[in-house]
Amino acid sequence: MKPIPFRDLDQRARRLAQDMIASVRYAVLSVYDTAQDYPHLSRIAVQADMDGVPVALLSEIATHTRLLNTTPRAALLIEAEPEAKGDAMAQARMTLQVIARRLPAEGPEHAARLARWLANSPKARAYAELADFHFWRLEPQGGLLNAGFGQNYLLQATDIKNPRP
């Protein structure tokens, strides 16, 4: 049986992918757990960085963070409207292949990122400045966009970065 066909990426699909990242607050992270020999899944807090690259705010004590420290090749599932009622399979969603990199928790770039994060998620103030929390850049290497039934697109890293300010 032939595999699922992919459509050519057009401006509408590229814009959808960029908009989904621009508005993301939570996503599902998968990191391979080499000790257990299974993928590990968790829900994490994610926002778009200034250039449209997903950034996560992660605690050092969490299982997924310990796994990322040794296995930075991971994946992220972003869904357009995770809280919408109705058929989850009809909603736009995309899986991104990412390489995770922990960012330093100091300096003006960190301060600007933290301020943006808290403006979008005021409740994160309760933990965002604790010593065990760090921002992680999740640099997209490629991905798949499912924009609804039968609408599948391959994404390149350059399709995902957002050129808009």
Footprint on this chain of its own copies (rule: CB under 8 A): 1-4, 25-26, 28, 30-32, 36-43, 45, 59-63, 66, 73-77, 79, 82-85, 87-89, 91, 93, 95, 97, 123, 132, 141-142, 144, 146
Residue 104 or 108: the one with the smaller Cβ distance to its own copies is: 104
Calpha distance 142→15 (Å, rounded): 15
Query: Is the distance from CB of 156 to CB of 126 less than 8 angstroms?
Result: no
What are the distances in angstroms from CA 98 to CA 73, 152, 161?
Answer: 6, 19, 12
| Least CB distance to its own copies at residue 85 (A) | 6
Residue 23 or 109: the one with the smaller Cβ distance to its own copies is: 23
Calpha distance 135→105 (Å, rounded): 7
Q: Is 71 helix (H, G, I), strand (E, B) or coil?
A: coil
| Least CB distance to its own copies at residue 17 (A) | 15
Strand partners, 43: 28
| Least CB distance to its own copies at residue 164 (A) | 26
| Least CB distance to its own copies at residue 165 (A) | 28
Query: Is the distance from CB of 100 to CB of 49 less than 8 angstroms?
Result: no
Q: Is 118 helix (H, G, I), strand (E, B) or coil?
A: helix
Query: What residue has token string 């950034």?
Result: 55
Residue 87 or 163: the one with the smaller Cβ distance to its own copies is: 87
Residue 112 or 125: the one with the smaller Cβ distance to its own copies is: 125
Residue 62 or 103: the one with the smaller Cβ distance to its own copies is: 62
Amino acid at 41: L
Tokens of 98: 């990412």
| Least CB distance to its own copies at residue 98 (A) | 8
